[in-house]
Structure formats: C-alpha cells, structure tokens
Amino acid sequence: MWRRCARLALRCGRALGSRRLGRALARLPAVPLAAATVALMIASAAQVKQPPAPALRLETPATHSNGPAARGDAARPRLVAPPPGSYELPVIQPGPDGSVLDTAGRAVPLRAHTSGRVTLLSFMYTYCVDPAGCPLLFSTLYGLRERLQTTPELARRVRLVSLSFDPVNDTPETMARYAGVLARADQPLRWDFLTGRSVAELQPILADLGQPVAIQLDAQGKPGRLYYHMPKLFLFDRQGRVREIYSSAFLQPDMIYNDIRTLLLEEDATRSARK
C-alpha cells in the first residue's frame, strides 16, 4: 500500500505550482470592501494537489480507445488511479471553523457540513461564466453525484457541498434557486448549497483552506462582478479532516471516485477493528 504523497516541507496534497497564481493574485490592485461590493484577496497559501505517486498511470488518447480523441474531444492525458483501498490518503489538515448560511438562511457551523460523511467541498459563485472555473467544478460534482447514486449504500455516506464566496449577490434565496432539485431532502445523495453572512466571516475559511479569490476590475479600475479564483475540490473524511485537494488538472471523476471509496473502506476497517 502506498500513500498519495510524501510528508515533505509542504502539506500533502498540495504542490508548488500554484505559488505562481498566488503571486499573480497578490499583484492585483487592492479593492476596498463596500456594502454592495465583494472583494476577496486571499493569496497566502495557494497550493494545489501534488502530482500523484508513481502508482498513478498517465494514459493518453493514443493509448486508450475510449479516450477524448476517440470521442472527438480535444486530446488531453488522463490519470488512471489505482483500485480503491490499495493506497492511503494522509490527513492534510483539520477542517476549517466558521459559520455559514444554508438555503433557509439559518446560520450553521461549516463543520456540520464537512463531517459525519465523506464530503467534497467546492467554492463557487452562481453567475460564474468561466468554463474552466465554477462550471467545471459543478460538472465534476454532478457527474460524481450521478455515479454514486447508482449505489445507494455509497450515496448515503457521501455529501457534496457548494459554498459561495460572494455573500452579497449569492443570498440564501439565490442559492436555493440555483440548487433547485439538487438540494431537496428526498434526493439519494445529499448536496448542500451554502453562502455566508459577510465577506469578513468567509475570509478565515478561505484562508485556512488556501483558496485564493480576487475580484476583477473593469476598464475604469472599478470592482466588477467577476472573480479570479483557482478551481479546487476539497475531500473531507467523516471526522471533518481534509484528506485530499484537487486542482483543475486533477478534477478527474475516476480518481476522485476511487479516493471517496478509499476513505469509506478505511472507515469500514476502523469500525471492524473496534468490534
């Protein structure tokens, strides 16, 4: 059995590559907070998922008949993960503290949405139009939802969370409309859509997870409604600890699905050992 990453100077699951983005965000003009303007600048620990251990195999469209090229898509390599349970995912860090709002406007601890089940958390905003940003995260989560729901015993143990970093525009009512049927209690797999009461309350959460976000300025140098942000997914175990962080290049459903299964198998083994 191998571990996804080694314990080096960096926390597991994160790579040096995103330091460049962190420095770029830090050079963006500062935007003062205003009552009707969200301006987030969290560029302190922008680190993303480290390249996997050698057990992960790189597969190109040329070597895989069902790859993107075979479907007529743009050719790009994909990672083939080892079987669930054949590797370990070390604990990266404890989950963040903080308060968020659900779609009913209730203030709840974020930990209530990142513990108790294996959880995938993403940060987003509802009017994002960048195909490589929030839509990519949403598509990845939706595909995993559809796959997990085919196995009810898995769906009951997994949760998806979409947390907006724009509390001014993404109110609880807006998040409820955005979620639609996906957030209904009768769905086989739980998907929580959350926002915050203020930028000030969300900033510590973003900083703790190393999620950089910055508002874009218009041609006149005034704050707009679009954001610079690095798409990331955070995988939490049942104890609410971060076990993996996926950047854009690693938003590959097969790998994430296997990681979820690995955590569930770990949980089952721990439960059996206690009997």
Residue 186: name the closest of 154, 149, 240, 139 by CA. Answer: 149
Which segments within the chain are labelled E, that is strand? 2-3, 57-59, 78-80, 87-88, 93-94, 99-101, 107-109, 118-124, 158-164, 190-194, 213-217, 223-229, 233-236, 241-246
Number of alpha helices (DSSP H) and beta strands (DSSP E) in the chain: 6, 14
Task: Measure CA 49 to chain center.
Answer: 11
Q: 245-274: buried (b, 16+ CB within 10 Å) or exposed (e) per residue?
A: bbbbebbebebbbbbbbbbbebbeeeeeee
User: Do the annotations mark residue 229 as ligand-binding?
Assistant: yes
Length of the chain: 275
Binding-site residue positions for Cu cation: 128, 134, 229
Binding-site residue positions: 128, 134, 229
